[in-house]
């Protein structure tokens, strides 16, 4: 597939806990990128520190698996300033995550290396553009299904945006 020169070679997906939305997005993005023939580093992290070292939430694992996404080996970590030097593009699942990431980015003073571009995960999505991927943590099964539906749509939109 011919792709734009501006296509990132690394993408970091970020939510609050890194146990529900962003690990799901990591696997969906990885699979969609592979199908599109894009060679890209894909990872995920959380703005919070409560779940560092934990596997994804069991409900997220179960719903992801039902759609063909195996996330049970992923391990939660917290986003850091280094991520802005290590990734080309950092995508926030919701507006609060975006604000928290922007303040980390604003605090980076030593900027000899180009810092990651920051955007909302839904930004390119013709269906869900500008929306949050809603936090499913206190929700029911439908909330986890909605997360998958929105992530599949918005990940596809990013990949489409990189095609020539």
Number of residue whose CB is nearest ligand 4NP:
17
Tell me if 100 contacts ligand 4NP by CB under 6 A: no
Answer yes or no: 21 catalytic: yes
Do 133 and 122 contact (CB within 8 A), yes or no?
yes
Active site residue 88: no
φ/ψ of residue 20, rounded to 5: -120, -75
Query: Is 19 an interacting residue with respect to ligand 4NP (CB under 6 A)?
Result: yes
Report d(CA 18, CA 56) in Å as an integer.
7
Q: What angle is formed at CA 55 by the lines to CA 50 and CA 140, rounded to 5 degrees? A: 80
123-142 binders of ligand 4NP (CB under 6 A)? 135, 137
Min dist. Cβ of residue 126 to ligand 4NP (A): 23
By beta-carbon proximity to ligand 4NP, the closer residue of 30 and 150 is 150
63 near ligand 4NP (CB under 6 A): no
Q: Which of 139, 138, 137, 134 minimizes the C-alpha distance to 154?
A: 134
């Amino acid at each position: 597939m011919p792709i734009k020169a501006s296509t990132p070679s690394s993408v970091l997906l970020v939510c609050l806990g890194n146990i529900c939305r962003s690990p799901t997005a990591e696997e969906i993005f990885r699979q969609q990128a592979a199908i599109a023939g894009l060679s890209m580093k894909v990872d995920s992290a959380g703005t919070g520190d409560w779940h560092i070292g934990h596997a994804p939430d069991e409900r997220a694992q179960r719903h992801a698996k039902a759609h063909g996404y195996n996330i049970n080996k992923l391990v939660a970590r917290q986003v850091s300033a280094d991520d802005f030097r290590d990734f080309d593009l950092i995508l926030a699942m919701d507006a609060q995550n975006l604000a928290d990431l922007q303040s980390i980015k604003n605090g980076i003073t030593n900027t000899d290396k180009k810092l990651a571009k920051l955007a909302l995960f839904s930004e390119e999505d013709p269906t869900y553009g500008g929306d949050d991927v809603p936090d499913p943590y206190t929700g029911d099964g439908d909330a986890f299904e909605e997360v998958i539906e929105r992530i599949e749509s918005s990940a596809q939109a990013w990949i489409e945006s990189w095609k020539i």
